[in-house]
Amino acid sequence: MQDKTSGPQDQPPKIEFPCHFPIKVVGEAAPDFKACVLDVLAGLETSYLKETVEVVDSRKGRFQSIRITIHAQSEQELTRLHSALKETGRVHMVL
């Protein structure tokens, strides 16, 4: 029987903070969805690269994704951001 110790391939990659961190926020399409996402970032004082903000409509136009690169300071900041976005009730996924 082989020893089943976890190797480096079994562990999630480590993120070194601070770093630029791309996120994708998916929700139902609406004229103010982008503003909603940016308001959450502003409320948490999360800085982002303005030139990376991109709105992409789904093929049928029902959903939108907001792609943006933030300047993440810590894993805790990422967790707070994810929670705050989900708490809007408008965000289906944060990737």
Q: What is the DSSP string of 52-77?
A: G-EEEE-TTSSEEEEEEEEEE--HHH
SS3 82: helix
For the chain, domains (ranges, CATH) are 16-94 (3.30.70.260)
The Cα 46–Cα 70 span in angstroms is: 7
Which helix (H) or strand (E) segment holds residue 19: the answer is strand 19-28
**pTM (predicted TM-score):** 0.84
Mind listing the pLDDT tens digit for each residue in 18-66? 999 999 999 999 999 999 999 999 999 999 999 999 999 999 999 999 9
Distance from the Cα of residue 35 to its chain's centroid: 15
